[in-house]
Structure 1
Amino acid sequence: MSHPDPGTVVVRTLAEHPMVEAGTSALRMVAPGSETAGRFGLVEYRLAPHSPGAAPHYHQTFSESFYVVSGRLTVYADGAWRPYSAGDFALVHERGVHGFRNDGDEPADFLILFAPGTAREQFFAEMAELRRSGRTPSPEEMTAFYARHDQVMVDV
């Protein structure tokens, strides 16, 4: 029996993808699209209690899935905000309006899976830098930022 090329296994140790603090949230790029040949992207996300996350929006070119590891995550789906607990999973197909926040008293830890693996790490890195800077961008700057990252904001 032959085996595939042993170079097809990618292992990233915890030290290679540290948790990055960004205001009331922190995230770890567990498997960025650049490491998965664009097949998917995986982010570990931690949101502090009573914190906003992402306002309702959609993506045109990729799906986004959420898996709650601990705490309670409030997800906007099907036109309403609903709480989800550890073990709950939500799949948002392309153009599906969604958002998330933490309305609870405990931190919410969850995984976000993007498919295909767009360069979403750039979105999170730029957003974290913006939060750290304390600068408030103009509405035009935010529109351009979201357009660069296939994120269409929706008023609900």
Structure 2
Amino acid sequence: MSLPEPSVAVHRAADPPDLPGPPTMRFVAPGSVTDGRYGLFEYQIGPRSPGARPHYHRTFSESFYVLSGELTIYDGASWTPFRVGDYAHVQDGGVHAFRNDGDETSRFLILFAPGIPRERFFTELAEIRDTGRVLSQDEWVEFYARHDQVNL
């Protein structure tokens, strides 16, 4: 009887964030590590900060789990506060958004399934921000389309 080869991907909490710039995201287990099964990211957003505006994805679901602070999530109809330990799942095609309406930093996990290469979306956004590059409206439309994000 042959057993499968052992394969464990490790990312220690002490490892530096994978996203350049302000420490707002850490790639815990991106799709490139999970064979595309899921992508797990830790996200941090400051007090009273806008997050992602209303949008949807055609080819993957997105879930949120609040670790600290409070996260306000839009479900396509209304905004609802989520606190430590709360979980929200957004199915493929589900309109959603998030922001921090609270007075403290919110830290939460985002799970993408399947594990599409969502890390490219975040690294490209960081590169645009860090270089000061200004995209035209058409370039933004192409950017979001390439990353399966339909903004409303």
Give the TM-score normalised by the residue count of structure 1: 0.89
Describe the SS at the equivalent of 1:140. Answer: helix
**Aligned residue runs from structure 1 range 50-89, under 5 A:** 50-89=48-87
CA RMSD of aligned residues (A): 1.9
- Report if aligned partners of 1:19, 1:26 keep a CA contact under 8 Å in 2: no
**Structure 2 residue aligned with 1:18:** 17
Percent sequence identity over aligned pairs: 55
**Aligned residue runs from structure 1 range 1-156, under 5 A:** 4-16=3-15, 18=17, 20=19, 22=21, 26-154=24-152
- Report if aligned partners of 2:21, 2:130 keep a CA contact under 8 Å in 1: yes
- Structure 2 unaligned blocks of 5 or more: none
Between the aligned partners of 2:80 and 2:112, the Cα distance in structure 1 is 21
- Report if aligned partners of 2:19, 2:123 keep a CA contact under 8 Å in 1: no
What CA deviation, in whole Å up to 9, does each residue of 1:100-144 have, x standing for no partner?
Answer: 111111000000000000000000111112222233321111100
For 2:28, the aligned partner's letter is V
Give 1:3 deviation, angstroms: 8.3
Give 1:81 deviation, angstroms: 1.3
Between the aligned partners of 2:133 and 2:116, the Cα distance in structure 1 is 26
For 1:10, the aligned partner's letter is A
Between the aligned partners of 1:78 and 1:38, the Cα distance in structure 2 is 27
For 1:63, the aligned partner's letter is S
- Report if aligned partners of 1:39, 1:117 keep a CA contact under 8 Å in 2: yes
What CA deviation, in whole Å up to 9, does each residue of 1:37-88 have, x standing for no partner?
Answer: 0000000000011111100000000000000000010111141111111111
- Report if aligned partners of 2:20, 2:123 keep a CA contact under 8 Å in 1: no
Between the aligned partners of 1:97 and 1:57, the Cα distance in structure 2 is 5
Structure (1/2) with the larger strand percentage: 1
For 1:27, the aligned partner's letter is M
Report which stretch shifted further, 94-103 or 127-136.
Answer: 127-136
Between the aligned partners of 1:5 and 1:15, the Cα distance in structure 2 is 30
- Structure 1 unaligned blocks of 5 or more: none
Task: State the number of aligned residues.
Answer: 152
